[in-house]
Every structure is written in structure tokens, then in C-alpha cells.
Amino acid sequence: MPDALLLSGPVAAPLVTAALYPAVGWRPATAWAGLFSPAVILACAGALATEVLRHGPVTAYAALLRADALTVWILLGIGAVGALACAAGPAYLAAERTDPVDARRYGLLVHLFLAAMALATLTANLGVLWVAIEATTIVTAFLVGHRRTRAGVEAAWKYVVICSVGIALAFLGTVLVYFAARHAGIPESRALDWPTLIAHADRLDQPTLRLGTALAVLGFGAKAGLVPLHAWLPDAHSQAPAPVSALMSGVLLAVAFTAVLRHKVLADAALGTGFARTLLIAVALATLALAAVLLLAQRDYKRMLAYSSMEHMSLIALAAGVGTRLATAALLLHMAGHGLAKGAAFCSSGHLAHLAHTTRVGRVRGLLGRARALGAVLGLALLALLALPPFSLFASELGIARAGFDAGLGWTVALALVLVLVAFAAIAVRGARMLLGPPPGPAAPVTVGASVWLPMAAALAACAALGVTVAPLRELLDAAAAIGGR
């Protein structure tokens, strides 16, 4: 298959699917046709993995699109969590009794969202990367406010305002990288080409690049849910439709952090490892501390899952700060496991909200007794997010801790572990209250159809499989870790 088709397919397929909904509308056939997009993304990612591992990076369109092992790893995550969200979407919208016009708009926006994330992952140009990340903000703002409730509209505006500040900072960082590249004599057409910048990193103006990197980390870090521009995340994730929350938490945060990682690799090549390490570790610990404290006070289970996303993204940022190959491999494994587990958790929480008519932790009791399948899926998702074996987050968190100790950051890792234990306790106590014990009042048992629980069970099975062995993906994971680690 031509390289251009493999690289453009993950962007083109969601665009084609998005065009289907305004033309035909939302009906049973077109609702399930949404699985076409993630299927194409997964197929292209699989083919690209083979090409990249055999022959090295694949490029097309004057190197505007480029796939290396890191690209392929993130693309697999987009396809996997995208498949979960698209499979869960029809049942969720049916349970909400969504108007056909709103459902059509939902289908259009979800696939535009997938296309924007695929473009952000596949482009080699830091300017196009910025445009694609900004496109995700525009598209998801309408999805956050999908139900047009007061809380949803407020969350959408908050999301737009805060992320726009972050994107503005990232834009300034990108401009400074461009300025440093032009000052180093790199041609205008290649001044934002990431491989070219890496190849000429020693010629880049260091003060300019240092400021550009800091702005890029803070700006793209806003989209990744990191301090200080994190305040949009709990509102947006709790108000968006559950499959959209799964995409935002499971994939968008990872895509945004991949932009941070690309800038971090460039900074390491030009400035040495100290600057980016200090910046990322400081941001990671601040985010983790805030998430742990807010989880202790949380009484809404969808917001609890949102703050859990901040916790896990802070661990990913900590691993990036450590920066070794082991840390980067653990980081990438953590991204994959978190995406699958959090996607399942958010999708199940959406159906729980329909069943219980509340998102308050204190008003949900005995879920395992009332809706066994839904309770089992939510319980397993929470166990995965608590990093218990056999789920992959157990292995990835151990890898992050080991890499930190090996790098001489023992006290930093120890502090992070204490904060993780606080978050663990907060989630475990609230999860146990919802799942166990008698229901709060008389209620008939509820049977949940396979179309509801099967996609989430498949995601959790994949998360557990990654925790048992990464052998099928070992070569790809090692190659991706070599790009981001030392």
C-alpha cells in the first residue's frame, strides 16, 4: 500500500464518516457505520508499524506527514479508544433519547475530533501540530455542550477560554522555535520540521529555545490537563457525553502530551536534559498533589474520574521528566493502559447516570446487586485505574518508579508515591461505596444489554492483556521509547 495512503487514511476516514451524518442522518445503520473510522485508523497503524520497524520512518506529502514508532503507538491508542467510543455511542444516545438532529451533529463532531487527533499525531510539522490541537478544542467545545444544559454550556465556555490561553502560549512557543531555527540558518520551509530541528539542534539559539520550550510545555500541557491551566478538565469531562469523555480523557490528553514530548526531545538535544527535566517534574508533582487533594474532597463520580485523569497525566509527565528509555517505555505503556481503562470507566459512568439519575457518589449504592454487568465493568475499570494487577497500569507505574530511582530521583519518586496512595484511597473508598452494600431503596434488578457492556469489557480485556505481556508490541514499544528517551 502506498505510504501516502497509509499516512492520510487515519485522517481521511474520519472526515468521510463525518460527512455521512449531515448527508444521511443518524439512524441505526449510520450509527454503527461510525466504527469505520477507528477500524481504518487501526488498520493503517498496523501497516505503518510494519513499515516503520522494517524500514524506518515513513513520510509523504513533502514530509508534512510522517510516521515513526512514537506516532504509530499513539495512533493505535486513538484507534482503540475511538473504537470503544464509537461502539458505545449508539446505546448511550438511545438511553438519553437524543433528538435525531442532535445525534447527527454528535456523529459529525466525534469523527471530526478523531480526524484532528490523527492529524496532530501524524504531522511532522510543529506548526501543523499546533493547528490540529487547536482544531480539537473547537470541535470538542460543541461536544462538551452537547446537551445544552446550563452546566454543560458553562463547562464548554470554560474549556474554550482556558484552553485558548494554553493554545496561545503554545503558539508563542512554536513561533520562538521557528525563530531559533531561522536564526540557525534552517530554510523557511523546514524551520518547523521536527526531524530537521532534531538534526540541527546544536545550532539553535539556546535562550530562545529555552523560552519556547517552557511556553510549549505550559501551553500544550493545558490540553493534557496539567497545572496551571488544568481547571477546564473536571467540568468538561463531567458534562460531555460519556463516549466523548472517554475520548477526551483516554486519547486527547495523550495526544496533547505527545506534543509536549516532541518539544521535550528537541530541548534535550539542544539544551541538555536538565532544563526540561526540572520543568516537567515540577509540573508533574504540582498536578499530582492537586489531584490527590481534590480527589479526597470529591463527591461526584464523573468529576472523580476527571481528577483521576489529572493524576495519571502527572505520572506520565513525571516519567517524561525522568527521560530515560525505561521511563519513556513506561510512560507509553501508561498512556495505552490509561486510555483503555478510563474509556471504559467513563462509558460505564454514563450508563450509571442514566440508571441512578444522579452523579453523586452518596446516592449510588449496591450497583453490583442491582445491575451486575454494569457494576462489574465499572468495578474492573476502577481496579485498573488503581493500578492493580493484572492491568497494565500496575506494570507501567512500577516501571516509572524504577526508572526514577535508577536516575537518582528517589526522593521525587517517593513523594509521588505518597500522593498516589492518597489518590488510591480516595478512589477506592468511593468506588466501594457505590458498588457494594444494599441499594439505597427498593429497586428492581436491571439487565444491561451486551451492546452496553461488551465494548467496555473488550477495552478492559485489552488493558489486562497489556499488563500480562507486551510481547506482541515489544519491538514497537522499544522503538518508540528510543525516540523519547535516552
Boundaries of domain holding 33: 3-484
What is the C-alpha separation between 125 and 27, in angstroms, rounded? 38
Question: What confidence score (pLDDT) does residue 245 get?
Answer: 96
Q: Which residues lie across from 125 on neighbouring strands?
A: 193
What is the C-alpha separation between 256 and 259, in angstroms, rounded? 5
What is the C-alpha separation between 157 and 163, in angstroms, rounded? 10
Q: Per residue in 185-201, pLDDT tens?
A: 999 999 999 999 999 99
Q: Return all residues near 436 (Cβ < 8 A) that are at least 6 apart.
A: 366, 368
Range from 22-31, 237-246, 359-368, 440-449 that averages highest in pLDDT: 237-246
pLDDT of 83 higher than 80 = yes
- Distance from chain centroid for Cα 11: 17
Task: Take residue 58 and report the three cell numbers written for it.
Answer: 515513513
Q: Per residue in 304-328, pLDDT tens?
A: 999 999 999 999 999 999 999 999 9
Q: Which residues lie across from 300 on neighbouring strands?
A: 360
Closest CA relative to residue 91, chosen from 420, 348, 443: 348
Angle between the 3-24 and 100-122 helix axes, to the nearest 10 degrees? 170
Task: Take residue 8 and report the three cell numbers written for it.
Answer: 492520510
What is the C-alpha separation between 157 and 148, in angstroms, rounded? 12
Average pLDDT over residues 286-315: 96
Mean pLDDT of the chain: 93
Q: Which residues lie across from 67 on neighbouring strands?
A: 58
Q: Which residues lie across from 360 on neighbouring strands?
A: 300
Q: Per residue in 255-277, pLDDT tens?
A: 999 999 999 999 999 999 999 99
What is the C-alpha separation between 391 and 19, in angstroms, rounded? 37
DSSP for residue 326: H
Is residue 30 very low, low, confident or very high in pLDDT (cuts 50, 70, 90)? confident
What is the C-alpha separation between 454 and 475, in angstroms, rounded? 30
Task: Take residue 372 and report the three cell numbers written for it.
Answer: 451486575
| Alpha helices, H only, 298-442 | 301-322, 325-356, 367-370, 372-385, 392-406, 410-435
Decide: helix, strand or coil at residue 66. Answer: strand
Question: What confidence score (pLDDT) does residue 237 get?
Answer: 93
How many domains is the chain built from?
Answer: 1
pLDDT of 444 higher than 70 = no
Question: What confidence score (pLDDT) does residue 442 get?
Answer: 59
Q: Which residue has the cell 487547536?
A: 134
Residue 474, Cβ density class (10 Å: 0-12 exposed, 13-18 middle, ≥19 buried): exposed
Task: Count other C-beta atoms under 10 Å from residue 289's C-beta.
Answer: 18
Q: Per residue in 227-250, pLDDT tens?
A: 999 999 999 999 999 999 999 999
pLDDT of 159 higher than 80 = yes
Out of 87-101, 102-116, 339-353, least confident range: 87-101
Q: DSSP for 128-185, please give it.
A: HHHHHHHHHHHHHHHHHTTT--HHHHHHHHHHHHHHHHHHHHHHHHHHHHHHHHHHTT
Q: Per residue in 166-176, pLDDT tens?
A: 999 999 999 99
| Alpha helices, H only, 357-409 | 367-370, 372-385, 392-406
61: left (phi over 0), alpha (psi -120 to 50) or beta: left
What is the C-alpha separation between 254 and 316, in angstroms, rounded? 9
Dihedral sign from CA coordinates of 457, 461, 467, 468 = positive
Decide: helix, strand or coil at residue 340. Answer: helix
Q: What percent of the chain has pLDDT over 70?
A: 98
Q: Per residue in 50-76, pLDDT tens?
A: 999 999 999 999 989 999 999 999 999
For residues 235 and 154, the answer to whether their CB atoms sit within 8 Å is yes
Is residue 140 very low, low, confident or very high in pLDDT (cuts 50, 70, 90)? very high
Average pLDDT over residues 31-48: 94
pLDDT of 1 higher than 70 = no
To 10 degrees, the CA torsion angle through 248, 213, 417, 73? 50
Q: What percent of the chain has pLDDT over 90?
A: 82
Q: Per residue in 345-399, pLDDT tens?
A: 999 999 899 888 888 988 888 888 888 899 999 999 999 999 999 999 999 999 9
Question: What confidence score (pLDDT) does residue 473 get?
Answer: 95
Question: What confidence score (pLDDT) does residue 149 get?
Answer: 85
Is residue 31 very low, low, confident or very high in pLDDT (cuts 50, 70, 90)? confident
CA angle 60, 65, 71 (to 5 degrees): 120
Is residue 97 very low, low, confident or very high in pLDDT (cuts 50, 70, 90)? confident
Question: What confidence score (pLDDT) does residue 155 get?
Answer: 93
Decide: helix, strand or coil at residue 233. Answer: helix
Question: What confidence score (pLDDT) does residue 363 get?
Answer: 87
